[in-house]
Amino acid sequence: MSDVFVFLAEQPILLLFVLIGTGSLLGHVRVRGVGLGAAAVLFLAIGASAWAAGLGVDLEIPEELGTLGLTLFTFSVGIVSGATFFSSLRRSLGQILAMVGVLVVGAVVAVVLGAALHLDPAVTAGAWAGAVTNTPALAAAREAAGDATGPTVGYAVTYLFGVVGMLVAVTAALRHRREDTDAPPALVNRTVRVEAGSSPRIQDLEERYGDRIKFSRVRRGETEPIRTADDGDLLLVDDLVTVVGPAADVDAVTRELGHTSSHHLEVDRWYLDMRRITVSDSRAAGHTIAELDLPHRFGATISRVRRGDVDVVATDDFLLQLGDRVRVIAPRDRMGEVSRWFGDSARGLSDITPIVLGLGMTLGILLGAVAFPVPGRVFSIGSAAGTLVVGLVLGRLGRVGPLVTAMPYTAAQAIAELGLLVFLAQAGSRAGAQIGAAFASGEWVRIVLLGLVVTTTVATGLYLVMRRLFRTGGTRLSGIMAGAQTQPAVLAFANGRTGYDSRVALGYALVYPAAMITKILLGQVLGGL
């Protein structure tokens, strides 16, 4: 085996992909529905490196590859989360601040208990990052401490319970799932016959219902052709109109306008057609639906948008991204033209937009290197936080002039996963030789105790604050816990237990970006103590 390790030590790129492939294979092994996922790469790298060190071989992946992987991960997460992050700040600022407060309390507990247990501050910082299962926080701690070994050892020892402990907390939250009152309504289509004599305007109706509904088709009289609805249309008696939205809102607008018609305009495709189209042309991406002006450009309208696996009502202010799939309603003879205008190519799902990737990464790394003077020291947020912040801003902007600043959801997710795997492999290979010393000295017992207390503090704090203060339902709370822990394994567990209930994903997206930024900054602070 010594010869194998010597060969791998001379081939760091080969070593990297051996660890990624084999570790990912192990991560897919599930016990009671739970697997380690990407974290298995870290533990395999630690084990292989420790084994090689015992044979006198230095099995380590270059630090530069780890930095590349981490910054790719954080930048891609920012690009994906940009739009939802800034909107969630306005909608649920209280819950986000409460989550940040719980993480800060967890960090304070780590510092106090780490000192009481006589642990090195660098090890404490890494143990805290492992207890909250955040790899970028580990990188920030390592960078601030100027020590690549101590934080990684602490992280590796506490990470496993960081996952398992939060899984237990999610299980407790889901025990109350039947009592939830915040189930998101399913979207429905309905054709309504207008009986109201007030001639309401479509735009006024959509605004009155908070843009939760969308009118897609209108037919005036029995012999008139069906056409797409326009914001300025006045609904007259005996008009037929198709409305899309949550069932409760559609019921309400039906009662206001008239009654459900026996006709179904969406079935009749003699005049209008409906098609799912992929946004792959840059001229459509980075614009709101209103800015596209489809009714006047093509006589068309968008009723829904699918991003990832989630369908939403196509409101006028919805910002389209490459890779979105829009449900377009248009005249039959113009549907091909509409499809070509949007692009409708699989390239829209996979285009990594290299200009944005290169310039965004450059700006993020430079931002991370900026030194800010604080009392007693100079502080910089590091390349991980810098690329995350730039990614969030670019994802929110969507477009700057002719340049699309976002990335297709699927492409960004793929880059993020690859970057995370590269960093985990590098971090584990660096820590393998040193973790053996931690176990041999008995220090691991104190590190495990620290991690157990921190994970329990964060999990209990989230549960009590969200349930008691904000009355959050158990299903959404499970997603918030997964997002606050920035842990895909916990998210997968909650999805599996709830049958992929959309409230889990909504809770996760609500807090994930803020949790990521908070943990990176706290990792930087703890590593610098």
Summarize pLDDT for 198-210 with one digit per residue, the tens.
Answer: 888 888 888 888 7
pTM over 0.75: no
Residues of the chain with CATH 3.30.70.1450: 187-348
Kindly report, residue by residue over 100-143, the tens digit of the pLDDT: 999 999 999 999 999 999 898 999 999 999 899 887 788 788 87
Q: What are phi and psi of 168, to 5 degrees?
A: -65, -45
Q: Are 373 and 380 in contact (CB under 8 A)?
A: no
45 pLDDT higher than 60: yes
Residue 27, C-beta contacts closer than 8 angstroms, at least 6 positions apart: 35, 36, 37, 38, 39, 40, 41
244 pLDDT higher than 90: no
Kindly report, residue by residue over 63-105, the tens digit of the pLDDT: 888 889 888 887 887 887 777 677 666 778 889 999 999 999 9
460 pLDDT higher than 90: yes
Kindly report, residue by residue over 294-313, the tens digit of the pLDDT: 888 888 888 888 876 667 77
> Average pLDDT over the chain, rounded to whole?
82
Architecture of domain 187-348: 2-Layer Sandwich (3.30)
Q: DSSP letter at 299?
A: S
Angle between helices 135-145 and 382-397 (to 10 degrees): 130
Kindly report, residue by residue over 55-66, the tens digit of the pLDDT: 778 788 888 888
Q: Are 483 and 85 in contact (CB under 8 A)?
A: no
34 pLDDT higher than 60: no
CA–CA separation, 481 and 511 (whole Å): 9
Q: How many CB atoms lie within 10 A of CB 309?
A: 9
* DSSP percent split of the chain into helix, strand, coil, nearest 5: 60, 15, 25
Nearest to 430 by CA among 129, 15, 120, 75: 15
Q: What's the pLDDT at 492?
A: 66
Q: What's the pLDDT at 203?
A: 85
Amino acid identity, position 221:
G
Q: How many CB atoms lie within 10 A of CB 491?
A: 23
Share of the chain above pLDDT 70, in %: 89
Q: Are 168 and 462 in contact (CB under 8 A)?
A: no
Residue 376, C-beta contacts closer than 8 angstroms, at least 6 positions apart: none
Kindly report, residue by residue over 310-363, the tens digit of the pLDDT: 677 777 778 887 878 888 888 888 888 888 888 887 766 677 788 889 999 999
* 500: confidence class by pLDDT, cuts 50, 70, 90: low
